[in-house]
């Protein structure tokens, strides 16, 4: 199968990371706090991660050397505003150096302002169900733009604000406020913070109407603050949109989840400059709930079906509902078999090309992830990276998939022979 070279001029070919997953020692954040509590659902703490905080120059040089044209990374709010109202010039200067390194290597900067992780003080204040959070997020966005805006090319406000609703169907998080006291992690967090368990509302795991309203308001206020500081900058949010399908008996459930997770967030994207789509596979519901992967199919390291065809479906869904340009801001496979990863990328990109051929405005493809890193509640087990990392030595080793996709990037879509 040939990908072809009919991608538009200026198409973004990139790799992505998230600060907490790669930087290390994000000690003022809510996720660091949750990782270390009794009853934690995190398999292990993030610790030093892959020390991208100190090694970013070499990492960025490697990304560019491989042939990529864009780097998507996140700023850590907990570093920039470690206590409410206290902004760190030193940390803002650090991220300015990161952005300058991207500029030096010709990389378009796609910057995520919030990638799951908030300051610990925000969690103590009611987190992503508190009515003050949208304004606090907008103030943070405005401060970032004042210091860094001239070096940011594309802005993503929130990463995967819809994920919590999808995780709930997997049995992860999603407890209503009145039930959070029965969850050991939320109970321990509340006791340590001195607040009621019902007020524990971390970004990744909170499912409620208040959570939806607060995230949407934060996105819109943040977007407006970014635009005010730099008119013309493309601003959007990035969504975890699975290809949601129904097996016999699961039609009603699938329709409900599709609306909760995909459709209403896409409808809310219509005033944005683009929507970021982040797809890894399909989610199938039957009469009992979430259906297991069919017997005999290939699965990733989390036991999920390998289904790269999903990306084309979610791009088309986004274009139809949101009616704004699409950037694929994450797509990839957790596997130790790098040949399997290349096969996955080949099929996924064929779907992107089919969308482009049909006139859908897709502006870029950014793979998840640049490096093997910390995968949240799964710890360091899943290997999504195009570049391997020996965490004992922090040595980086590009995998064949990094060279393969880097060559596709270098040639704007021509598959290496």
pLDDT tens string 241-252: 999 999 999 999
What integer pLDDT is reported at residue 1 of this predicted model? 35
Looking at residue 128, what DSSP letter applies? G
Structure tokens at 405: 């996709």
**Does 185 map to a domain?**
no
Beta bridge pairs of residue 395: 390
Give the torsion sign (CA, 237, 330, 112, 410): negative
Looking at residue 240, what DSSP letter applies? E
Picking from 130, 222, 209, the residue whose alpha carbon sits closest to that of residue 174 is: 209
Tell me the pTM.
0.97
> What's the Cα-to-Cα distance from 250 to each of 31, 242, 256, 270, 292, rounded to whole Å?
34, 16, 10, 29, 13
Structure tokens at 152: 């940011």
**Does 103 map to a domain?**
yes
Average pLDDT for the chain: 97
Looking at residue 155, what DSSP letter applies? E
**CATH number of the domain that 366 lies in?**
3.20.20.80
Quick: pLDDT tens for 35-77: 999 999 999 999 999 999 999 999 999 999 999 999 999 999 9
Residue 338, H or E segment: helix 338-357
Picking from 158, 314, 298, the residue whose alpha carbon sits closest to that of residue 235 is: 158
**Does 265 map to a domain?**
yes
Quick: pLDDT tens for 329-352: 999 999 999 999 999 999 999 999
**Does 178 map to a domain?**
no
Question: What is the distance between the terminal CA atoms of the chain, rounded to a whole angstrom?
Answer: 11
**Does 181 map to a domain?**
no
Residue owning tokens 């930087």: 23
**Does 308 map to a domain?**
yes
3 has a pLDDT exceeding 50: no
Beta bridge pairs of residue 362: 326
What integer pLDDT is reported at residue 82 of this predicted model? 98
Structure tokens at 374: 């910390």
What integer pLDDT is reported at residue 417 of this predicted model? 77
What integer pLDDT is reported at residue 2 of this predicted model? 40
Share of the chain above pLDDT 70, in %: 99
Picking from 353, 245, 373, the residue whose alpha carbon sits closest to that of residue 305 is: 245
The reply to whether 395 belongs to the active site is: no
6 has a pLDDT exceeding 80: no
Residue 14, H or E segment: strand 12-16
Measured distance CA(130)–CA(332) in Å, rounded: 33
- Under the banding of pLDDT at 50, 70 and 90, the label for residue 256 is very high
**Does 7 map to a domain?**
no
- Under the banding of pLDDT at 50, 70 and 90, the label for residue 5 is low
Quick: pLDDT tens for 361-373: 999 999 999 999 9
Q: Are 67 and 402 in contact (CB under 8 A)?
A: no
Q: What is the β-pairing status of strands 108-114 and 289-290?
A: unpaired
What integer pLDDT is reported at residue 74 of this predicted model? 98
Q: Are 150 and 9 in contact (CB under 8 A)?
A: no
Quick: pLDDT tens for 172-228: 999 999 999 999 999 999 999 999 999 999 999 999 999 999 999 999 999 999 999
Measured distance CA(333)–CA(68) in Å, rounded: 18
394 has a pLDDT exceeding 90: yes
Q: Are 373 and 50 in contact (CB under 8 A)?
A: yes
Please tell me which residue in 76, 91, 160, 304 is annotated as part of the active site.
160
**Helix and strand element counts for the chain (H, E):** 15, 13
**Does 394 map to a domain?**
yes
Quick: pLDDT tens for 112-167: 999 999 999 999 999 999 999 999 999 999 999 999 999 999 999 999 999 999 99
As for how many domains the chain has, the answer is 1
CB atoms within 10 A of CB 214: 25
Q: What is the β-pairing status of strands 326-330 and 275-278?
A: parallel
Measured distance CA(259)–CA(85) in Å, rounded: 37
Picking from 172, 245, 165, 235, the residue whose alpha carbon sits closest to that of residue 207 is: 165
Q: Are 327 and 276 in contact (CB under 8 A)?
A: yes
Quick: pLDDT tens for 263-321: 999 999 999 999 999 999 999 999 999 999 999 999 999 999 999 999 999 999 999 99
Measured distance CA(237)–CA(270) in Å, rounded: 11
Domain range for 66 is 12-168+200-410
């Amino acid at each position: 199968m040939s990908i072809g070279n009919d991608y538009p001029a200026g198409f973004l070919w990139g790799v992505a990371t998230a600060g907490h997953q790669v930087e290390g020692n994000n000690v003022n954040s809510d996720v660091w706090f949750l990782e270390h509590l009794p009853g934690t659902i995190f398999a292990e703490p993030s610790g030093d991660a892959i020390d991208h905080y100190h090694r970013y120059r070499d990492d960025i040089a490697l990304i560019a050397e491989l042939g990529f044209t864009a780097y998507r990374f996140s700023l850590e709010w907990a570093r920039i505003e470690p206590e409410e109202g206290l902004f760190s010039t030193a940390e803002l200067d650090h991220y300015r150096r990161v952005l300058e390194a991207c500029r030096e290597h010709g990389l378009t900067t796609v910057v995520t302002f919030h990638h799951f992780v908030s300051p610990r003080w925000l969690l103590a204040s009611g987190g992503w169900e508190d009515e003050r959070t949208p304004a606090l997020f907008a103030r943070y966005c405005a401060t970032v733009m004042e210091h860094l805006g001239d070096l940011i090319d594309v802005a993503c406000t929130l990463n995967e604000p819809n994920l919590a609703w999808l995780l709930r169907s997997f049995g992860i998080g999603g407890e209503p406020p009145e039930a959070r006291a029965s969850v050991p992690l939320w109970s321990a967090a509340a006791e340590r913070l001195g607040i009621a368990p019902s007020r524990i509302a971390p970004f990744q795991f909170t499912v409620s109407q208040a959570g939806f309203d607060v995230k949407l308001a934060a996105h819109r206020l943040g977007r407006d603050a970014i635009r005010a500081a730099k008119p013309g900058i493309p601003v959007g949010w990035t969504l975890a949109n699975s290809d949601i399908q129904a097996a016999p008996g699961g039609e009603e459930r699938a329709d409900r989840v599709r609306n909760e997770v995909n459709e209403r967030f896409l409808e809310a994207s219509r005033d944005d400059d683009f929507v970021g789509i982040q797809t890894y596979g399909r989610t199938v519901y039957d009469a009992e709930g979430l259906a297991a992967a069919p017997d005999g199919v290939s699965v990733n390291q989390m036991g999920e079906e390998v289904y790269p065809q999903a990306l084309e479906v979610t791009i088309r869904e986004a274009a139809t509902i949101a009616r704004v340009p699409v950037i694929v801001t994450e797509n990839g496979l957790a596997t130790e078999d790098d040949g399997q990863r290349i096969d996955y990328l080949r099929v996924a990109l064929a779907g992107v090309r089919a969308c482009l051929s049909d006139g859908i405005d897709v502006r870029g493809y950014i793979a998840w992830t640049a490096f093997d890193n910390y995968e949240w509640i799964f710890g360091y087990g899943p290997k999504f990276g195009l570049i391997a990392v020996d965490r004992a030595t922090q040595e980086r080793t590009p995998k064949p998939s990094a060279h393969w996709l880097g060559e596709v990037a270098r040639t704007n879509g021509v598959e290496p022979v």
